[in-house]
Amino acid sequence: MKSLRQHTSLWLSLGAIILIGAWPLVTGSALSRETMFTVLRSVALASSLNILLGYTGYVSFGHVVFFGLGGYVGFYLIAAQGWNLWPAMLMGGLAAGLLAYLVGAAILRLRGAYFALATIGINEAVRAFINNFEPFGGPTGMTLNFKLYKVYGGPGAALQLSFYIMIGLTLLVVLLSYWVRVSKFGLGLLAIREDEDAAEIMGVTAPSAKTWAFVLSAIIPGMIGTVFFFKNGTIEPGLAFPLHTSIEMIVMIMLGGQGTVFGPILGAAGYEALRDYLLVSPLFKNLQLAISGILLLLIVLFIPRGLVGWLRQRYAKVRRWLI
């Protein structure tokens, strides 16, 4: 009974993703599939970043760099080297993980605002590098020859496949996020978040724990990058490294509840629903990012723990099953 209740959050999270994923299959509409693809992408990106931001307490403002780099590496392998999507996607994830490992060793010793600033710097540096890297097409980027989609049964089938992969990756992120949250490794991360010096004195090997948290939070965004740009058919630096996407990821996590498994899912879905509404509303369509900014401000001021965090704090009973 206890273990069932302990897993409630996992079932809730997986259930929510399956619902989001199944909706377009039920309606059969391509439009709703595109919408849900975006929602799933946001859920997966936010849940990945949450491993670093929510569990470990390190705010990465440039997390989109892993999405972009993974996208570029995977895209290059597919478009220029003729690789299949699956191994290319793995390489995209590995490239992102490797970048996180190397960068993490250098900048994870920074704390608070200094770390956040450094992550923005990394994003801009990688973008600038790719802008000047000829094999990746420099500033104009690369495009996919549409004939390549034949391998997957034509463009329509390739889109459908991308959607299924996105569901799979999102489920994977949530399983990973949950595993980290309830593992000994995750307990160490939470201790680092609360008080890093005290955690080290209690024996948490903070440098390696932080590095692995960073790597885990980077791999799946890298894989998502490959799938996203495979489906998109074209990639360029402006699309791959948009800083505002990093900030939106943070808004989603903060909205739903940092440091919880279900929070980023709720936050990402809620944020996407809001954005959908704002984009089609004649009054707000040009103000969408301004609204996100105001939203972040309001959350930080009034419910800094996010929706799930607020529920957990308010109701002791909820704390027992909702994480």
Partner 1 sequence: MILQVQGVTKRFGGLQALTKVTFDLPEGQILGLIGPNGAGKTTLFNVIDGVYTPEEGRIIFLGEDVTGKKPYYLAHKGLARTHQIVRPLNELTVRENIMVGACFGHANADLGEAANIADEVMEFVGLSDKAELLAGSLNVAQKKRLEMARAVAARPKLLLLDEVLAGLNPSEIAKMVDTVLAIRDRGITIIMIEHVMSAIMNVSDRILVLDFGKLIAEGTPEEIAQNEKVIQAYLGDPKLAERLMQGD
DSSP 201-265: HTT--HHHHHHHHHHHHHHHHHHHHHHHHHHHSEE-HHHH--HHHHHHHHHHHHHH-TT-SSHHH
Which of 14, 25, 94, 187 binds partner 1 (CB under 8 A)? It is 187
Regarding 205 and contact with partner 1 (CB under 8 A), the answer is yes
Regarding 145 and contact with partner 1 (CB under 8 A), the answer is no
Report phi then psi at 224, rounded to 5: -60, -35
Regarding 94 and contact with partner 1 (CB under 8 A), the answer is no
Shortest separation between residue 182's beta carbon and partner 1, angstroms: 8
Shortest separation between residue 116's beta carbon and partner 1, angstroms: 20
Please choose, out of 68-76, 79-87, 203-211, 221-229, the segment that lies near partner 1 by the rule CB under 8 A: 203-211
Nearer to partner 1, 285 or 314 (CB): 314
C-alpha distances in angstroms, 254 versus 93, 295, 307?
Answer: 25, 10, 8
Please tell me the count of residues contacting partner 1 according to CB under 8 A. Answer: 23
Shortest separation between residue 250's beta carbon and partner 1, angstroms: 19
Nearer to partner 1, 125 or 195 (CB): 195
Both structure tokens of 64: 């989109």
CB of 215 closer than 8 Å to CB of 176 = no
Regarding 198 and contact with partner 1 (CB under 8 A), the answer is yes
Which of 190, 239, 296, 318 binds partner 1 (CB under 8 A)? It is 190
Report phi then psi at 296, rounded to 5: -60, -45
Burial of 138 (0-12, 13-18, 19+ CB in 10 A): middle
Query: Where along the sequence are the contacts to partner 1 (CB under 8 A)?
Result: 182-184, 187-188, 190-191, 193-195, 197-206, 259, 316, 319
